[in-house]
Amino acid sequence: MRKIFFTLCLLAAFGLQLSAQQNVYIWRGGDFDKVVLAPTDDMPFTNAGSTITIGGKAYDVNRIDSLTFATPVLDKSGKVVVRYEGAKATVTIPDEVEGLMAEVDGAHVKLMCVNAVDEFEYVLEGASSDGSLTYTGSYKCKFYLNGLNLASARGAALDIQCGKRIDLILFEGTDNVLTDCAGGTQKAALYCKGHMEVKGGGTLTVTGRSKHGIASKEYFLVKKSVGRITVAGAASDGIHCGQYFQMNGGEVEIRNVLGDGIQAEELLDPTKELDGQMIIQGGVLAIDVPGDDVKGLKCDMDLTITGGKIDIDVTGNGSKGISTNASMTVSEESEPTDITVLARGTSLPDPAGGTTKCVGIKVDYNLTVSGGRITVKPTGKDARGIKVDGTYYYRGGTVTPEPDAVAKG
Amino acid sequence: MKGRKMMATALMLALSGAGHTLMAQQGRDYLTFQTAQAERSVALAQLKKITFGDGRLTAVTTTGDLSFELADMKKLYFTDLPAAIGRTAADADARVMYDRDAECVRVEGNTAAVQLTVYTVDGVQRVRTVVRPGGGTVGVGSWAKGIYIVKTDGQTIKFSKR
């Protein structure tokens, strides 16, 4: 009874908190930064009005184009717009965009760009239950998802065949969904041949029915401004990238994947920086690992966590919550760090006659903790907490349980 | 019995929290510009953008622009209703009040003509008039019940007509 009482009281308090948000959009150079304020926050002026402080950060008013308070509407001027409406799609190309060709087959769109000088911007919006976009190009570009709900019965929903930097903007206030077909040869429902940087306060939900949910050949970067990325299911990994995976903020949720939650695979190219690494600097990351002998977070090289809330639930047998073939470093250099791993799976028989145990955190080399909180709960039969095949260096923070390490420094 | 009382109390708290949530989501409808001399509020639904230039802050609204000297600006903040503002020097002796018995808005003690505007709580202008030196009244007896905002050159008040 008391538990119910306190729960309801918490709900009452939470109800009061739910309303506490006022968005301020700071426009500079045609783009905006969103600052979320509590309704009681103010924006004081200092330096004779030449500086305004918004959300604790001071801005020179002469460097601000404008402040707005309503959810922005995407300015489509100068942008290529692909609009899906059921069984058909339309492509609108502004006169100033040169070197771009479009082929439309029902709601399946192919864009081919031969312009290797200008950075074009593409807006994708609308809905189709059998549509897709395949983009071919050789120069960096931007894709705005502006309320796109696209399911493809032919292959990937969004296939970007461009080896350069691709900005994927989840436009503020929009929800976007990408789903591919089952039994296909595509690598992912959302695929990028180059390196993808995701930003914008909207949401993206991806389902990979043939292989991965999201895949990029090179690095995948989640910027601080991201609203939420959800992989709702995948036949293989939730997010699979080459080179490195970096998360600076936002929310990432991985559910119902049969492979790894997020994998960063080494390209073995010395020209590629941070090759094989995983870097988490902030945000909220939640991963379910139901598959057997897979990992929640997997990387070939160093894993560095300097901030963020990470929750990983491992129910697959022989699976790992976090696994790195190199070293792992945890601190609170960027923001508070709170890592929780539930190792609920049991052991998996391996072909050699032994077993592969379910482990919360497995580090093949050294583990260094200088701040933050790490909690592993190995509740599965024979499950283990934290296994370190090198040296465990404790410099600060809270780690539970004590890692099982070859050596301690 | 004690358990039922606790449940009832908790339910009431939860509902009031939810109710407050709903009210708060409908509130915070104004952005108030505070300067060294006064405050002006603009309904967020009418506020298009704020720009800065030539030493001034300009609030572009659907009903026109407001402009302030940047050097005078103190802060911007959010309010549920337009904030009461300080008096300007020229209007220091004027008093604006709602006379409930007489069902009118009364201006007294103004030594100069004062522009008086009354808005509904939704920001719709109800009346705009000029009150001559020495004071005057605006009858509100036939108006619907509700909250109204009265603005003169130097003051803003709210009153509730029942």
Total of domains in chain A: 2
- The answer to whether residue A11 is domain-embedded is no
A contacts of B31 (beta carbons < 8 Å) = 69
Last residue of a domain, which of A10, A40, A72?
A: A72
* pLDDT tens figures, A242-264: 999 999 999 999 999 999 999 99
Mutate to test the interface with B, among A18, A23, A67 (most CBs of B within 10 A): A67
Chain A, window 21-50: residues with a beta carbon less than 8 angstroms from a chain B beta carbon: 22, 27, 37, 39-45, 48-50
Rounded to an integer, the average pLDDT of A135-141 is 98
Looking at chain B, list the stretches that DSSP marks H as alpha helix, in order from N- to C-terminal side: 2-26
Residues A68 and A87 in one domain: no
A5 and B27 within 8 Å at the Cβ level: the answer is no
Partners of B25 on chain A (C-beta within 8 Å) are 19
Chain A: give the shortest CA distance to residue B58, in Å.
10
- In this structure, what are the phi and psi dihedrals at residue A275, rounded to the nearest 5 degrees? -60, 125
Whether B6 has a pLDDT exceeding 80, the answer reads no
Q: What is the mean pLDDT of residues B49-56?
A: 94
> Which pLDDT score is estimated for A216?
98
Record the pTM: 0.79
Q: Which of B13, B22, B34, B69 to mutate to test the interface with A (most CBs of A within 10 A)?
A: B13
Say if residues A281 and A249 touch (Cβ distance below 8 Å).
yes
Residue of B nearest to A53 (CA): B75
For residues A62 and A158, state if they share a domain. Answer: no
Tell me: pLDDT of A130 over 90.
yes
Contact B44, B30 (CB under 8 A): yes
A72, A88, A109 - which closes a domain: A72
pLDDT at B11: 56
**Residues forming a β-bridge with A158:** A133, A190
Domain identity same for A267 and A324:
yes
Q: Is B6 left (phi over 0), alpha (psi -120 to 50) or beta?
A: alpha
Does the CB of A406 have a partner CB in chain B at under 8 Å? no
CA atoms within 13 A on the CB side of A345: 29
* Mean predicted confidence (pLDDT) in A335-362: 95
Residue pLDDT, tens place only, A195-215: 999 999 999 999 999 999 999
Count of beta carbons in the 10 Å neighbourhood of residue A59:
20
Residue-wise pLDDT for B82-112, tens only, equals 765 443 433 455 788 899 889 999 988 877 7
Distance from CA of A42 to the nearest CA of B (A): 4
Residue A140 confidence (pLDDT) above 80: yes
User: What share of chain B in percent tops pLDDT 90?
Assistant: 30
Separation in Å, CA A387 to CA A179, A204, A264, A404, A405:
37, 34, 20, 5, 6
Selected residue of B51, B73, B79 to mutate for chain A interface (largest A Cβ count, 10 A): B73
Establish if A63 touches chain B: CB-CB under 8 angstroms. Answer: no
pLDDT band at B9 (very low <50, low <70, confident <90, very high): low
Show the domain range for A269.
80-408
Residue after which a domain boundary falls, among A72, A106, A134: A72
ipTM: 0.76
The verdict on residue A8 lying in a domain is: no
Whether residues A68 and B16 touch (CB distance < 8 A) is answered with no
Q: Are A57 and A156 found together in one domain?
A: no
A268 and A383 fall within a common domain: yes
| Same domain assignment for residues A260 and A394 | yes
Q: Please check whether residue A6 lies inside any domain of the structure.
A: no
| Inter-chain residue contact A1 with B3, CB threshold 8 Å | yes
All domains of chain B in start order, with CATH: 1-83 (2.30.30), 89-161 (2.60.40.3080)
